[in-house]
Chains A and B, each alone.
Chain A
Amino acid sequence: MKNLILKILGGISLTSVLFVFQACYGTPQDMEQDNQFEGVVKSKASGNVIKGIKVKTNFEGRQVYTNESGEFNIFLPLADQYKLTFEDADSTLNGSFASYDTVITDVPGYVRLDILLQPK
Chain B
Amino acid sequence: MNETRILSEQETAEILAAAGHYPDKSAASVEALKIVQKYRGWVSDEALKTVAGLLEMSPDELDGVATFYNLIFRRPVGENVILCCDSVSCWMLGADRIREHLSERLGIGLGETTADGRYTLLPIVCLGACDRAPVLMVGEELYEDVDESKIDELLKRNGQTWTDR
Please indicate whether A and B come from the same complex rather than being unrelated chains: no
Q: Which residues of A contact B (CB under 8 A)?
A: none
Q: Which residues of B contact A (CB under 8 A)?
A: none
